[in-house]
Copies of this chain bind each other. A is one copy, B any other.
Amino acid sequence: MPARIPILKLYNCLLVSIQWELDDQTALHFQEHLLQKLHETEASGVVIDLTSVDIIDSFIAKVLGDVISMSKLMGAKVVLTGIQPAVAITLVELGIHLQDVQTALDLEKGLETLQRELGE
């Protein structure tokens, strides 16, 4: 069984903190779990915190990009927080610019950005 990444619901947002390197199975499971949770909770925003992620590969980057697009389709805004230098370098070198994605320095700022965007 792949490890599960807990998804917390706080106010109208979901919070996810990825605190270790994901393997492919875990990443796919996370994608499914997050979308299901969005559906269940009717949350209007998601903060994905990558502070503790030092390294990212092309598959995980793609899954992350996909989950952001999927969440948008489901009507939720996504903010990525805590992207480390090495991860930013890898993403851009892989051609994954995540251009339409809001980012913020840390979880607090991510939540603030979301609440502002959601107009609350």
Would you give the 0/1 interface string for A84-105, flagging 1 where the beta carbon is closer than 8 Å to chain B? 0000000000000000000000
Say yes or no: B5 contacts A6, CB within 8 Å. yes
How many of chain A's residues have a CB under 8 angstroms from any CB in B? Answer: 18
One complex includes copies of this chain to the number of 2
Would you give the 0/1 interface string for A3-43, flagging 1 where the beta carbon is closer than 8 Å to chain B? 11111111100010111100000000000000000000000
A4-B49 Cα distance, complex, nearest whole Å? 16
Query: What chain B residues lie within 8 Å of A5 (beta carbons)?
Result: 6
Say yes or no: A19 contacts B3, CB within 8 Å. no
Query: What chain B residues lie within 8 Å of A108 (beta carbons)?
Result: 10-11
Query: What chain B residues lie within 8 Å of A11 (beta carbons)?
Result: 108
Q: A67 in the interface, Cβ–Cβ < 8 Å?
A: no
**Which residue in B3, B9, B20, B49 is a CB contact (below 8 Å) of A8?**
B49
A6-B40 Cα distance, complex, nearest whole Å? 22
Which residue on chain B has the smallest CB distance to residue A8? B17
Chain B nearest Cβ from A36, distance in angstroms: 13
A residues whose Cβ falls under 8 Å from a Cβ of B:
3-11, 15, 17-20, 49, 107-108, 111
